[in-house]
Every structure is written in structure tokens, then in C-alpha cells.
Chain A
């Protein structure tokens, strides 16, 4: 038996005497099988990911009073669908005021946080700073602490400064939180941009600092957008800090509003809760949709070569 004429594939062994077409068909089937299996795996995981969103949407359209009354049949679209939950949120509660409050808070803390992150990220990447490594480790360690841990110290601090129940009292911790994560992110991205670009700009007539700002910021746009979206998401959905600091109804954010609205007389009103979630998710959805292009490259941290 000549070894060179044997082809092994899994448990099957082909010799040259056997039909060459049969061998090829075998590999063709194998490839198809692999594709089917990977698709099944992907579909199962996609279902796990999509189901909660579907559940929230379908619950928001349901008029059942509480979870106790819910049946599996309620998971399917039925004749009982109604927009009552949405109507109640939009017209019986100051939803738009809460939205305005939230947007003021998130927009200003995003702008402040990202602006500070850009300067610190550029500095950490390009300048010689004493104890730079220690600083970087500190940023990394700080970003590991859960935000809720800070609620109590922040509360004491801001009560001293009389900043509780104000916009500023939330904007400061929100933007500080953004700086920790984003400056590290921006530094890493800028590290990968060759120095030639800002040096070329210096030769072209810019000072070192304006070369950094006028050339590197546009080049780091993907990561800046990414950092901004992350910085937006935190305060937008925050309840831990806002729920403790804000007491006046006129300053309620969406997250507080959601809690307030879904409190029924006896049980939590899940229909309203779900409808509120959907309404709250819409701006996030739009945000991701608009900046999709940047987010993809921000995630992959790919830069110019």
C-alpha cells in the first residue's frame, strides 16, 4: 500500500482507487456542515440578546396590570395591544421636562468630560510628564471602581458645598467619571498615530501645541466620538447618583422619572416601566445609528498607518 495515495479526513480514509469526485464531495459536505453549525450557534446567541428587547417592547404595549397576571401568551402580539402606557407617560407626566433635564446634564458632562479627556489624552501620549506611568496605572485602577461606590462620599462633599439638588452637583462627578475612562482611551489611540503628522504640521508653520490640536484631534475623531458616546451613556442612564442628589421634582432626570412613574399603588407597573424604557432608549438608538461609522473604528482602535 503506498502511503502517498492515502488522504485522511476525520475517520474517513480515501485511497486513490476510490472515486476522486467522492472525495471532493466529502469535503464539500464537511464545509456545509461547519457553516450550518456556526449559524445555529450564532442564531441561538442572537435570540438570547434580542429576547429582552422584544420582551420590553411587547410588555410596553400590553395593558395588563401586573406581572402576577401575565401569562406566556402575553409574549405574543395579541388584540390586547394598546398605546395606553405611552399615552400616560407622555401626557400625564412631565416626560419632556425630564428629557430636557437629562439632556442638559448629559450633554454638558459629555462636552466637559471629553474636552478634558482630549487634552489629558494628548498630554499623556505626547508630553514628558513626571510619574507618567504611575498616573496611567492610577487611571486604570480608578476605572475599575464601581461608580456607585462614590455616591456616599460625593453626597457628603456636595452637601458641604451646597451642590446637592443642582445641575452642577451632577455634572461634576459625571464629567470626572468620563475623564478617567476616556483619557486613557484617547491616549492609547493617539499613541498609534505616527508623530510625523504633527511634525509635518510644525514644518508647515504651526506651533507644537496648535499642531497637536489641529492635526491630532481630527485624526483621533473615531476614538473621540466613541469616548463621547460612552461618556453620554453613563449619566443618561444613571440612577444611583441622580436618585440620591435630586429631590426637587422640577430637576428629575429620566431615570428618576422612570422609577417615579412605574411606582403603582401596590405593585410596580411593568407596562409603564417598559414603555418608559422604550422611550428612553430611542435617543441612544439614534446616537448609535448616526455615529455607527466612528463607533466601529473606535472599537477596533484602528488608526492611520
Chain B
């Protein structure tokens, strides 16, 4: 059992930098990802869990024991650093068994454990080399080995894949997930890469400006974003976001966006005649049609399995469309774009909060009045 709880954790660096009132609960054996842009406080949060950063106020519990002010060495937490931080003057073997050596484990047991972990990670033949003599991917494995060998209560990983090339990163993502399930160790993983978050996480937490914005399974972040920040951060290419208006006309509610109108059957505006909204729709939910938002094709990107088309509306707004078949338009050609109304999201233009999504309980438009 190793459950991690953060309660109202604060760390103020001044100038609105830091981490503010973070509450997290990570269950036993869970793969938990903290996602966010650089400077959002995700690494600071991880370092506070590790004990490398002090906590201004709030509490951190591991296994229902408070560890807020524990020194790092007594927390029983292993960490994988972004640059791996392998000790360059030690062999791979000594690097992996360094934590065991500190616990004064016998050399025989240490060697046995090291061999076992090395075999699991496929680095048995590298044990006598120095970190400077092996490749980046191999170093990554050694760093993982040093964390695994201790069988800690908690794994912390700080962007462990960001120094690898794209192909290796994809491969290591799969392997990380496999290892984590095999060892069933509670893991907190920090990344700015939403692909890593969606592929690895059981649950993810999105941070921005030192504050937790949304916590949930990665698909929830994608399908039911709390606000415009989550909506545009999660998803690649990002969600299209345009200013629009909801207008009540003859008892019917119409959404006006960039010169086009769409009937919104299931919205009740109550007494108000007009509401400003932000309209969000994902690139894959946009199709070509006869009537819709007018836009001109500027750039196409073919990535093989699908094609991205970048459009500009007459008022200079950018739109991205994703299609699985080849482009039907030529560059510079104008067309009409129709968002899938059943997947459209509306946000409050002032607070950024999601106020409407078809078929979801998040319909808060009535509450706005």
C-alpha cells in the first residue's frame, strides 16, 4: 500500500511563481501524470514530494504517514531525473546498486539484485561500462534500474523521456508503462508532452500558473475539458477556439460564429436574448460543407495516416482541420467549414469555463443568468 496525498500544498517563490494550494490523491499502484506548460509548477510539485524543495504550507502524506518535512533519504522514494544524473565516475553496476550500498546491503545480495534488474531492462552486458560510454537510451535504462532496484514506495519521474529521440521515446513509453504495471509501484510522472500524458497515465492532472486546473483520466481531459486552457492544451493539433454569440430568435437558439449560423436545439437561453461565448471544436470534428464558416486553405501537412489543413477566415482567424483522406482542396481555395454540432463545446468568454457540451451534464448555460 502506498498512497500519496498532497493537502493544500503551497510553495511561493514570489512574483506569482510557485505552487498554490495543490490537492492531489494518488492511489496505490496508480500511474499519475502531472502535465503542464513550462513554468506551471509541475516540477516544483514533484520536487516537494521528493523532499528536494521545502513546503511553505500544507501537508504531504505517503502511506498515511506525514512526510512533509522528511529529508529526501528517509522518504523511501526513488526519482528518475531528466538528465538521468548517473554518477559519471562509477560503472553502470555501481550506479544501479548505489542506493543498496548506502543501506549497507551485503555485496552478494547487491550484485544479485543488480543482475536481476539489469536483465529485466536488457542492460546486462553494459554493467562494467561507465555512463559516458553508453547511449542516451541505455543511460535512461540505467537510471530506471537505479530507481527500480530499491523497490521504493513511490517512483518520481521528471520528464524522463525528453532527452531521447522521437523513435526511442515512443519505444520507452511502452516499456515504462509495462514496467510500472509489472512492479505495480505508485508513480508520479511529470511532463509537458500531452501525448506522454494520454498514453501513460491512469489519471492525469493539468497544472497552469502553479494551480491544478483539472484532474482526471486523460480521456476526460480531452473530452470534457474544464476550461479553454485544458481544451487547447490537450489535443494535437489543438482545439479551434473562436468567439461566437448565442442568439434567441423566435424561440430558437442560434449560434453565430465567424459569419455562419448554426441552430442549437438543446440550449435554453431563458430570458436573455444574446450571450457571448467562446466556441471550441476539435480539428477532427470539422468537415467541408455547403454552408458554414468561410475560410481559405493556407497550408496542408500530410503526416501519412491523416492530413492537417490550416485555414484562414476572412477576418484573419486560424482554423485547423484534420482529415483521414487526402486533401480535396487546392492551396488558396476558399471553402465552407462545418463543425460537428454534437461535439462542439462552448466556454464562458470571461472565466474560460466550459458551459455547454451536447449530451453532458456540464450544461451550465442556465446557471449563467
Q: Which residues from chain A sit less than 8 Å from chain B, CB to CB?
A: 194, 196-197, 199-208, 215, 218-219, 221, 304-305
Contacts and interface: CB of A to CB of B under 8 A. Distances in A.
B95 to A, nearest CB: 10
Q: By DSSP majority rule, is chain A's interface helix, strand, loop, or mixed?
A: helix
Nearest to B146: A204
Given A196-B83, A202-B71, A205-B99, A304 B88 contact: yes
A188 to B, nearest CB: 19
Contacts of B99: 204-205
A206 B85 contact: no
Q: By DSSP majority rule, is chain B's interface helix, strand, loop, or mixed?
A: loop
Interface stretch (B20-28, B74-82, B226-234, B322-330): B74-82
Nearest to B103: A205
B13 to A, nearest CB: 15
A203 B81 CA distance: 11
A294 B102 CA distance: 29
B73 A207 contact: yes
Contacts of A221: 89
A279 B367 CA distance: 95
Contacts of A199: 50, 52, 72, 79, 81, 85
A180 to B, nearest CB: 28
The 9 closest A-B pairs by CB, nearest first: A205-B102, A200-B85, A196-B85, A204-B99, A202-B72, A218-B89, A203-B79, A205-B73, A196-B81
B88 A202 contact: no
Contacts of B102: 204-206
A194 B71 contact: no
B83 A203 contact: no
Nearest to B72: A202
Q: Taking each of A194, A203, A208, A219, which has the highest tally of chain B beta carbons within 10 Å of its own beta carbon?
A: A203
B85 A202 contact: no
Contact of B71 (A197, A207, A219, A304): A207
B61 interface: no
Contacts of A200: 79, 81, 85, 87, 146
Contacts of A206: 73, 102
Contacts of B103: 205
B185 to A, nearest CB: 14
Contacts of A208: 71
B98 interface: yes
A49 B272 CA distance: 92
Contacts of B82: 196
20 contacts: A194-B85, A196-B82, A196-B85, A197-B85, A197-B87, A199-B81, A199-B85, A201-B87, A202-B71, A202-B72, A202-B73, A203-B72, A203-B78, A203-B79, A204-B99, A204-B102, A205-B102, A215-B87, A218-B89, A219-B89
A203 B73 contact: yes
A189 to B, nearest CB: 14
Interface in B76-125: 77-79, 81-83, 85, 87-89, 98-99, 102-103
A197 B87 CA distance: 7
Contacts of B150: 204
Contacts of B98: 201, 204
Interface string B238-263: 00000000000000000000000000
Contacts of A304: 88
B351 to A, nearest CB: 39
A215 B101 CA distance: 14
A204 B81 CA distance: 12
A208 B83 CA distance: 20
Nearest to B147: A203
A294 to B, nearest CB: 12
A84 B308 CA distance: 90
B83 A202 contact: no
Contacts of A215: 87
B155 to A, nearest CB: 11
Contacts of B83: 194, 196, 305
A303 to B, nearest CB: 10
Q: Taking each of B71, B87, B146, which has the highest tally of chain A beta carbons within 10 Å of its own beta carbon?
A: B87
Contacts of B51: 202
Contacts of B71: 202, 207-208
Given A200-B87, A203-B78, A219-B89, 11 more contacts: A194-B85, A199-B79, A202-B52, A203-B50, A203-B52, A204-B99, A207-B71, A218-B87, A219-B88, A304-B88, A305-B83
Nearest to A202: B72
A211 to B, nearest CB: 9
A203 B83 CA distance: 15
B256 to A, nearest CB: 53
B66 to A, nearest CB: 19
A203 B77 contact: yes
Q: Taking each of A205, A206, A208, which has the highest tally of chain B beta carbons within 10 Å of its own beta carbon?
A: A205
Nearest to A221: B89
Q: Taking each of B72, B78, B81, B88, which has the highest tally of chain A beta carbons within 10 Å of its own beta carbon?
A: B72
A29 to B, nearest CB: 43
Nearest to A199: B52
A197 B50 CA distance: 14
A142 B71 CA distance: 38
A54 B83 CA distance: 50
Contacts of A219: 87-89
Interface in B33-76: 50-52, 71-73
A200 B142 CA distance: 13
B146 to A, nearest CB: 7
